[in-house]
Structure 1
Amino acid sequence: MTARGWFLFSLMGVIWGIPYLMIKVAVDEVSPSTVVFARCAVGALLLLPLAIRQGGLWLTIRTHWRPMLAFACIEIMGPWFTLTDAERHLSSSTAGLLIAGVPIVGVVAARYFGGEREHLGARRIAGLLIGLAGVAVLTIPHLTGGDARSLGEVLLTVIGYATAPLIAARRLKDVPTLQLIAPCLTLATIVYAPAAAATWPAAMPSSEALLSLLALGVLCTAVAFVAFLELIKEIGPTRSTVITYVNPAVAVAAGTLFLDERFTATIGVSFALILAGSVLATMASAPKGSAEPVPVRPARWLRRGADPRPERDEAGAR
């Protein structure tokens, strides 16, 4: 990976590790629809003028509107609502750890739906099973009451996060980053505006909630999406999802430090299993041995003993 790739990877590992904390703070005072609306609106206000200034925005939308619509639905409008709604009942640490399953789903999606026909092999299959075991360790204690719905919402989020990069890499790779994400955020803002207006809080949210919404829009949306799409172009869609190795550690640390969430043995075991499974499932295949050289039949002039090449001097020059 290049130095630019490592920088984007490290940046995304941190930036997308803190939304779980901010969502948890905000959703205690405003509805999930309002959180998604505010996050998208702030991001769109920042990025849309820059996209317009580049020129050709309308032509880009008219040419690529189908994959752009799919990306907006699968990456933004669906997952952001399901994740936010799930955090009304799950801790930010649990949500962050479950999202670590994205690379595992990404491997399967790339193998069967993304056109990457790389053989899975025993190691990757073992990684998938280990990662799923980690998810099971984390989720089984929560499979009671309303938590089952929250876990299902996080699962939908994971599927969206794993498949959207494939759309970006295969169908939108030639679209400038700003001209992709700005229209998607604008569309999401319009879609969620009615629901946000209907559930707007009667009282002004606290400063902590407002700062969380602002940070979600500026840092975790505008800055993060520009960096993430550049990361996809730099290292590919499947490898880019490996940032979720780092995200859970940041999410757990933030929840423990700022929300007094407990770090239990179950969290530690599930994190180790999910991390190990994701590493194995996304690890590149071992290089095969060098192929035998293909014998080449000598040209006719060699078989006749003739050499049409000009003579070379001692330095090898013609």
Structure 2
Amino acid sequence: MSRRGWLLFALMSVIWGIPYLFIKIALEGVSAPFLVLSRTAIGAAILLPIALRRGMVRPALRAWRPLLAFAVLEIGGPWLLLNDAEQHISSSLAGLLIAAVPLVGTLVTWRLGDHSALDPRRLLGLLIGMCGVAAVVGLDVGSASPLRMGEVLLVAVGYAVAPIIADRRLKEVPTLAVISLSLTGVALAYVPAAIVTSPHAWPHANVIGAILTLGLVCTAAAFLLFFRLIAEAGPVRSMVITFINPAVAVLLGMAVLDERFTAGVAVGFPLVLLGSWLSTLKSTPRERADDRVPALEEEVAGSR
């Protein structure tokens, strides 16, 4: 890659590795629904005007059904589940479990007829990754709620399925329009819940700073930078950040929040990363002819 490509890659590896830390901080002063509204509203306020100026919104609204499904599975459901889970488990554990996205994507695309998912390397990666997730859940079950870990795994399912919907049903809709309209729709949907659960007192400065960082940096700026990374390096290379984000989340959790490096993380972390890498290797030329793995999944997987 070019120097610009490496710079964008490094920025995205950090930007989408830090949300777990700032979610943990923000939840000290606001509720999970209020945080979803705040983050999506900030992102929408920046991205929607850009999409409007480029004339992307009106054509995108014609595909409102798949757009709604994408918004629910990519943002509306996962961000609430992730916020709720991080009130009970460490940010590093949440970041690690999200690394299961490529594994889930491999399973889903196989069920949808992607024969390249049967490649021996991908199957081996899937098996190793599942063992890694099982190790994390099993060895940390005494110190973390299985229910909350299950919530994060549901987030991984949403992050894997939503891009498939976008690729199959929203191919003609610009990605910026999909993201900006999704953020806007989710923000509007969460207004009632956010009002009911709004904080009784003005949050502390660190909470406000975390919310602003999530909205400005981890949502609006992240998507804009990621679009440039894809244009510079291509979707396949860009997807490698999925393997680095969890490492950033684990390191920040231990350094900033004094989170413990548990046995589950020690055993499961390398297995999940190895499995994810193997399960997303390129197919052979013959296999790629029948490959239906969505390109957009490679673009936005592990987002957030």
Fold-level similarity (TM above 0.5): yes
Tell me the C-alpha RMSD between the 2 structures. Answer: 2.4
Task: Identify the residue that residue 291 of structure 1 maps to in structure 2.
Answer: none
Unaligned runs of 5+ in 1: 289-318
Aligned to 1:31: 31
AA in 2 matched with 1:35: L
TM-score by length of 1: 0.82
* Equivalent pair of 1:99/1:244 in contact (CA under 8 Å): no
> If you compute each CA radius of gyration, which structure gives the higher value, 1 or 2?
1
Unaligned runs of 5+ in 2: 287-304
Deviation at 1:137, TM superposition (A): 1.3
Q: In the alignment, is the contact (CA less than 8 A) between 1:128 and 1:277 conserved in 2?
A: yes
CA contact (8 A) 1:177 1:230 kept: no
Q: Which of the numbers 192, 195, 212 marks the counterpart of 2:193?
A: 195
Identical residues among aligned pairs (%)? 51
Cα deviation, 1:221-263, whole Å, max 9, x if unaligned, reads 1122334456667745x87554221111100111111111122
Map Cα deviations across residues 33-54 of structure 1 (whole Å, 9 max, x no partner).
0110100011111112222111
Distance 1:230 1:111, change over 3 A: farther
Query: C-alpha separation between the residues in 1 aligned to 2:3 and 2:104?
Result: 27
Distance of aligned partners of 1:13 and 1:179 in 2 relative to their CA distance in 1, 3 Å threshold: same
Distance in 1 between the 2:256 and 2:224 partners? 27
Give aligned pairs, total: 285
Tell me whether 189-198 or 221-230 shows the greater mean CA deviation: 221-230
Q: How does 1:140-219 map to 2 (within 5 A)?
A: 140-143=138-141, 147-219=145-217
Residues 1:53 and 2:56 aligned together: no
1:142-179 deviation line (CA, Å, top 9, x unaligned) = 43598121011101100011122222333323322332
**In structure 1, the residue corresponding to 2:49 is in which secondary structure?**
helix
- 2:138–2:264 contact (8 Å) kept in structure 1: no
Residues 56 and 100 (structure 1), Cα distance of their counterparts in 2 relative to 1, 3 Å cut: closer
Where does residue 83 of structure 2 map in the other structure? 84
Higher mean displacement: 90-99 or 270-279 = 270-279
Q: What secondary structure is seen at the aligned counterpart in 2 of 1:203? A: coil
CA contact (8 A) 1:169 1:232 kept: no
Residues in 2 aligned to 1:241 and 1:102: alpha-carbon distance in whole angstroms: 11
Q: Distance in 1 between matches of 2:143 and 2:13?
A: 32
How has the CA–CA distance of structure 1 residues 67 and 3 changed in structure 2, closer, same or farther, with 3 Å as cutoff?
A: farther
Structure 1 runs of 4+ off > 6 angstroms? 1-5
Structure 2 residue corresponding to 1:259, chosen from 250, 257, 268 = 257
TM-score if structure 2 supplies the norm length? 0.85
- 1:135 maps to which residue? 133
CA 1:146–1:276: 2 relative to 1, 3 Å: closer
Deviation at 1:139, TM superposition (A): 1.0
Identify the residue that residue 124 of structure 2 maps to in structure 1: 126
> What is aligned with 1:18?
18
